[in-house]
Structure 1
Amino acid sequence: MASTARVPALPPPCAAPGLRARARGALLGLAVGDALGAPAENLRPSEIRARWGRITGYVVEHPAGTDDTEYAIFSGLLLARHGSALTPAHVEEAWRRWIADLDEGPFRGAGFSERGTLENLRRGLAAPVSAQHRHAWSDGLAMRAAPFGVFAAGRPAEAARLVAIDGSVSHEGEGVYGGQAVAAGVAAAMAGAPPVAVVAAALAVIPDDSWTARSLRRAAAVAHRGERVLRSAVVVGGYPWTDLAPEAVALAFGAYAAADGEFAPAVLTAVNMGRDADTTAAVAGALAGATGGVEAIPPDWAAAIGPARGTCLPPMAGHHVLNIADRLTPPEPPTPTETPR
C-alpha cells in the first residue's frame, strides 16, 4: 500500500479568498470539462476530426453536464454534511435515499459501476459487498472525487482517505485508486502546488505497483510529446469500454501536465483525445481549475453552466457546482474596506 509519508510537502492553503476562488475553479472546471467532453464521449480522435475538426469550444447548442457533474454534486453534498466524519454508512444511506429507492426510470446516463452498485443495494447488500460487481474498476469514483480535494485543500492524504470511504460503496481496487489519485491531485492544486507536484501527490497516495500508478507515470513522462503519443501510452487497445479508471485518470492528468496546468488547453486536450471524454475533461478541468482559480475558466464557457438538470440523478436538480464549492470551503474574511456585520 502507498505510504502517506511519501506525500510531497506542500505550501499551506491559500488565504480564504484565494482558496474560495480555487474551489470554485475546481468544481466549475469539472462541470465545464464534462459539458465540453460529452459530445466526444466514446469517439476516436479520427471521428472527432471528421465531425468537428478540432473541438475548441462547445459544439452543441445547449451544453450541460452529465452524470459526472451530478455525481460530483452528490458527493459534495454528502461531504458538506459530514466532513471528515464521513463513514461508509453515511455514503450507503445517501445512495439508498437519493438513488436506489427511486424508480429506475429517471436514472439515465449512469455508468456500469453505478448500475452494478444499485443492483447490489437493491438486493440488500451493504458496503463493501455492494462494490463487488464487474465494473468496480471504472472511473465512476474518479469523476466525483474533486469535491474531496476541495474540502481537504493542501491535505492530499486526507482527501484520499475520504474519497476511499465514498468509493467503498461502489468501487474496489483500481476504481478506488483512480478516485484517490484525483482527490489528492485536486487537494495539492488547491494549495498552489505546480503541476509536477500535483502529479506527485496523486502518485503518493496509491500503490506503486498498481495499474493506475503505472499508467499515470507513463502519461506524465510523455505528456509534452503530443496527444497521439499520450493516448498510445495509456489507452488499452481493442478494449471496447472507455471507462477504465487507470486509463481515464492517466489521460486526464496527462492532459493537465501537457498544458502546464493551464485551463483551456488542458480541457481541450482531454476532449480531443476522445475515449471517456466527458470524464477525462471533467478531471482535467477540476485539476486546472484548482490550479488557476475560477478566473482561469473562459467566461463564455463558465456562463453556459447552470444548475444541474437532474437528468441522471433527479434529486440533484437545481444544485449549482459553485454553491457546492462555497459549502466546502471556509467563508472569506471581509476585505480591509468592509466592516464586519
Structure 2
Amino acid sequence: MDATAGPVWGRREQQDFRSRVRGTLLGAALGDALGAPVNGLDIDAIRRAHGAAGITGPAPAHGRRGAVTHLTQMTLFSVDGLIRAQVRRDTGAWHPPTDLHRAYLRWAVTQRDWGPDERREEDGWLAREEWLYARRDPPRALLTGLGDDTMGTPEAPKNPGEAGPEAAARSAPFGLLVGWEPQLVTQLAVECAAQTHGRPAAYLAAGGYAAIVHGLARGESLDAAVQRALVLLAARPGHQPVTDALRQALGAVRQGMPTPERVSRLSGKGTAEGLVAVAVYCALVGEDVRHGLCLAVNMDGPGAAAGALTGGLLGALHGETALPPAWLAELEGRPTILELADDFAMEMTQGPALHGPAASSPAWLARYPRGAEGALTG
C-alpha cells in the first residue's frame, strides 16, 4: 500500500484542515455521547424516557452527562494508529493496517486493565490516558476480534458473520487522509474493519463511509462524496447491500419531512450498511448539526453508532465551529480529543519537520514511538 505525495499546504489550507479534523473527531464523539443514553431502545421507549420529541440534548449515561462509548475510544486509537504509521514510514516499515491493528490491540488492553500503570513507553501517550480505561459496553465482536495477536484481513477476516456498525463507526479518521487517493482510503478502511467485522457488507460499509468523509474533508458536497463512494464500492465483490443502502438514503431525502420512523427503516436491523445510510440521510436533511444528530439517535436500535457516524460526516462537512458549544462543554474527554486532533493535523501537514531527514523532534517520537511493536502489554 502506498499513498500520493499529498497536497501543498499553505497556512489557510492548514487551518481549514485542522478545523475539519477537529470537527470530525468532536462531531463523532458528540453523536456517540448523545446516543449513549438511548442506545438499544426503540422509539416508543425513547419517547417515554425523554418526551414526545425524544432526546434533544446531553443526558446521563455511564454515570455522567456527555459520556462516550467504546466507539469514540476506538476512533481515537484509529487516529493514534494513523499517526504512528506515518512516523514509522521513515523506517521503511510501511504497512498501515499493521499499525492500526497494533493501535486496536492497545485499546483492547484498556478493556482488560484497571488503568495505565503498567503501560510501556513504547505504547505512546494515548494509552496512558486514564479515562480511556472505562469499559463502555464493547460488543463481543471487538473483544474476540482483538483477543489475540492475529490480524484479520479481507481474505481471512475475524468474525466472518459480524454485521454490526462498530468498525464503520471508528473509520472516520481514514477519511482525513486527504493526501491519499480515494481508492486507497477505501482500501485501508476495509482492511482495518476486517480485523473485527468479517461480513463483506460490514467492512465495505466502513470503506464507503471513509470515502465519504474523505470527500467532505477535501471540500466536496455530501451528495458528491456519496456518489464517489458509490463508484468506488461498485468495483468490489459483495458491495450490493452497501450501495443499495446508500441509494435508499439518497432517495429518502425526497420523500418528505424526516421522521424517526423513516430513519429507523433506513437502519434495517442495525447493520453497518444501514447505519451508514442513516448517517448520510440525517446529515443531508438536518437543518444544522444539532438537528441532524437528534434525528440520528432518535431511532430504533444502536443510537450511539448512528450518532457517531452522523457526527463524523457533519463535522467533516462544516468544521468544528458548527458544533453545539453547550454540548461540547460537557463532552467527556474533550481535551484529549482536541490534543489528538491537532497532533493528527500537524503530522499530516508538517510531518517532515517532526521526523524527517533534516529534523527530528524527540518529544514527538516519545508521543508516537517508532518501535516495531509498541502494542502488546496487559
TM-score, normalized by the shorter chain, greater than 0.5: yes
Name which of 74, 80, 99 aligns with 1:77. 80
| SS of residue in 1 equivalent to 2:293 | helix
2 CA distance for matches of 1:219 and 1:69? 24
Q: Find the counterpart in structure 2 of residue 36 from structure 1.
A: 34
2 CA distance for matches of 1:291 and 1:305? 20
Q: Find the counterpart in structure 1 of residue 367 from structure 2.
A: none
User: Which one has a bigger Cα radius of gyration?
Assistant: 2
Provide closer, same or farther for how the CA distance between residues 181 and 230 of structure 1 changes in structure 2, counting only shifts above 3 A. Answer: farther
State the 1:232 CA deviation. 5.5
2 CA distance for matches of 1:81 and 1:21? 21
1 CA distance for matches of 2:183 and 2:286? 25
* Aligned: 1:113 with 2:141: yes
2 CA distance for matches of 1:66 and 1:153? 30
State the 1:166 CA deviation. 1.8
Across the aligned residues of Structure 1 and Structure 2, the Cα RMSD in angstroms comes to 2.9
Provide closer, same or farther for how the CA distance between residues 77 and 155 of structure 1 changes in structure 2, counting only shifts above 3 A. Answer: same
Q: Find the counterpart in structure 1 of residue 152 from structure 2.
A: 127
| SS of residue in 2 equivalent to 1:73 | helix
1 CA distance for matches of 2:219 and 2:141? 33
Provide closer, same or farther for how the CA distance between residues 321 and 101 of structure 1 changes in structure 2, counting only shifts above 3 A. Answer: closer
1 CA distance for matches of 2:314 and 2:111? 35
2 CA distance for matches of 1:38 and 1:110? 12
* Aligned: 1:207 with 2:205: no
State the 1:246 CA deviation. 1.3
Residues 18-27 or 91-100, more deviating = 91-100
* Aligned: 1:198 with 2:225: yes
* Aligned: 1:231 with 2:247: no
Name which of 48, 51, 54 aligns with 2:49. 51
TM-score using structure 2 length: 0.72
Contact 2:20 2:316 (8 Å CA) reproduced: yes
1 CA distance for matches of 2:65 and 2:25? 19
2 CA distance for matches of 1:212 and 1:295? 31
Q: Summarize the alignment of residues 1-341 of structure 1 with structure 2, pairs less than 5 Å apart.
A: 15-53=13-51, 54=53, 55-60=55-60, 61-83=64-86, 85-99=94-108, 103=112, 107-119=135-147, 121=148, 125-128=150-153, 131-133=157-159, 135-152=161-178, 155-172=181-198, 173-207=200-234, 209-224=239-254, 225=256, 226-228=258-260, 230-231=262-263, 233-236=265-268, 242=270, 244-259=271-286, 262-307=288-333, 320-330=336-346
Q: What amino acid maps onto 1:112 in structure 2?
A: R
Provide closer, same or farther for how the CA distance between residues 103 and 27 of structure 1 changes in structure 2, counting only shifts above 3 A. Answer: closer
1 CA distance for matches of 2:315 and 2:97? 29
1 CA distance for matches of 2:108 and 2:156? 14
1 CA distance for matches of 2:296 and 2:58? 14
2 CA distance for matches of 1:273 and 1:23? 27
Q: Find the counterpart in structure 1 of residue 355 from structure 2.
A: none
Contact 1:67 1:110 (8 Å CA) reproduced: yes
2 CA distance for matches of 1:288 and 1:91? 24
Cα distance per residue 1:125-176 (max 9 Å; x no partner): 4433873325532212111111111233684323212212322322231111
Cα distance per residue 1:63-82 (max 9 Å; x no partner): 21111100000111000110
2 CA distance for matches of 1:198 and 1:29? 18
Unaligned runs of 5+ in 2: 1-8, 115-132, 351-378
Contact 1:117 1:130 (8 Å CA) reproduced: no
Provide closer, same or farther for how the CA distance between residues 228 and 66 of structure 1 changes in structure 2, counting only shifts above 3 A. Answer: closer
1 CA distance for matches of 2:161 and 2:142? 9
Unaligned runs of 5+ in 1: 1-11, 309-318, 334-341
Q: What amino acid maps onto 2:201 in structure 1?
A: E
Provide closer, same or farther for how the CA distance between residues 205 and 227 of structure 1 changes in structure 2, counting only shifts above 3 A. Answer: farther
TM-score using structure 1 length: 0.79
1 CA distance for matches of 2:329 and 2:95? 33
2 CA distance for matches of 1:44 and 1:288? 24
Q: What amino acid maps onto 1:22 in structure 2?
A: R
Contact 1:36 1:271 (8 Å CA) reproduced: yes
Q: What amino acid maps onto 2:138 in structure 1?
A: A
